[in-house]
Homo-oligomer: A and B are copies of this chain.
């Protein structure tokens, strides 16, 4: 099918921040076929489900993924109430600005950090904390608000998917607790379409008013095998499209690819040392080994960010 067939929809470029190239052609062709009645690849609207990893896929994950930046800022705010943290890791490293020390403990340390900084409040108090933080937080490298350090081509893709009748979901390896408060404004993805690790809550009546108290326990970790498991539990149907950037997204992509009919698998490859970062085989929170190899073997779409993106961040976009 030629890309010119649906002129009405494609009169204006839906992805102006993507250069013409293999990735742009592949996604637009896929969308056109999946949404054209009568096409062999046509998919009914209810099954048009797209899932995206967040950090490194929809937004920058260097020098640290967003949830991590939030957790670090929370440590600095809460240290007055927790002087004992000064003697323990990863808090010590955080207070000294030593990110390598934070990463050294691996996922276990990150989870301890999330538990320590994300528990105790009611859900309403916590939402307010996140909103207050978002209003003033600045990304450590760009100096821009963290909510702007997101990939412009992906914002355009999310919009395009929605216009083609897709429901977009985030399936994040990190905690999602700080996300619902802003993901809707930034990505247009409502909280019910955000999946990820989260603190357990306990329903209580406090002073005659029902509240959900956030407990210092993380109730699931959505990464690697946990991603398709979470998709099955939260969405209940297999995605048609899955976008990721690391080995933590591989199983989500394998699960998506194994469905009947055409599926779209996209992998962001950070190749742009000048405008963003270039890294290979290792990300801030995990490996990038198996995913790129499988993407190449299976013919998934690997996006060369340096070559294929006309703009990386919203403030660089021409429109």
Binding site for B on A (CB under 8 A): 46, 49, 123, 167, 180, 184, 190-194, 198, 200-203, 205, 209-210, 212, 219, 225-226, 228-229, 232-237, 251, 254-255, 258
Is B236 in contact with A191, judged by CB distance below 8 angstroms? yes
Is B46 in contact with A203, judged by CB distance below 8 angstroms? no
Most buried by B among A49, A201, A209: A201
Is B233 in contact with A203, judged by CB distance below 8 angstroms? no
Most buried by B among A194, A212, A236, A258: A236
Bound form: Cα–Cα A88–B58 in Å: 53
Chain B residues contacting A235 (CB-CB under 8 Å) are 191-192
Chain B residues contacting A210 (CB-CB under 8 Å) are 228, 251, 254-255, 258
Closest to A123 in B: B232
Closest to A191 in B: B236
Bound form: Cα–Cα A180–B231 in Å: 13
Q: How far is the CB of A256 from chain B (nearest CB, A)?
A: 9
Is B255 in contact with A212, judged by CB distance below 8 angstroms? yes
Give 9 CB contacts A-B under 8 Å: A192-B236, A194-B236, A200-B229, A201-B229, A201-B232, A209-B258, A210-B251, A210-B254, A212-B255
Q: How far is the CB of A186 from chain B (nearest CB, A)?
A: 14
Chain B residues contacting A251 (CB-CB under 8 Å) are 203, 210
Is A180 in contact with B212, judged by CB distance below 8 angstroms? no
Q: How far is the CB of A297 from chain B (nearest CB, A)?
A: 13
Closest to A190 in B: B46
Chain B residues contacting A49 (CB-CB under 8 Å) are 192
Q: A-B pairs with the 7 shortest C-beta distances?
A: A191-B236, A203-B225, A180-B236, A210-B254, A192-B235, A210-B258, A203-B228
Chain B residues contacting A205 (CB-CB under 8 Å) are 254
Select one of B212, B219, B255 contacting A203, CB under 8 A: B255
Closest to A203 in B: B225
Bound form: Cα–Cα A46–B198 in Å: 22
Chain B residues contacting A192 (CB-CB under 8 Å) are 49, 167, 192-193, 234-237
Contact A203/B190 with A251-B210, A255-B212 known, Cβ cut-off 8 Å: no
Most buried by B among A184, A212, A255: A212
Is A201 in contact with B46, judged by CB distance below 8 angstroms? no
Is B228 in contact with A212, judged by CB distance below 8 angstroms? yes
Besides the known contacts A46-B184, A167-B192, A180-B236, 7 further A-B residue pairs in the complex with CB atoms under 8 A apart: A191-B235, A192-B234, A201-B232, A201-B233, A203-B225, A203-B229, A210-B255
Select one of B198, B229, B254 contacting A202, CB under 8 A: B229
Chain B residues contacting A237 (CB-CB under 8 Å) are 180, 190-192
Bound form: Cα–Cα A180–B46 in Å: 13
Closest to A184 in B: B46
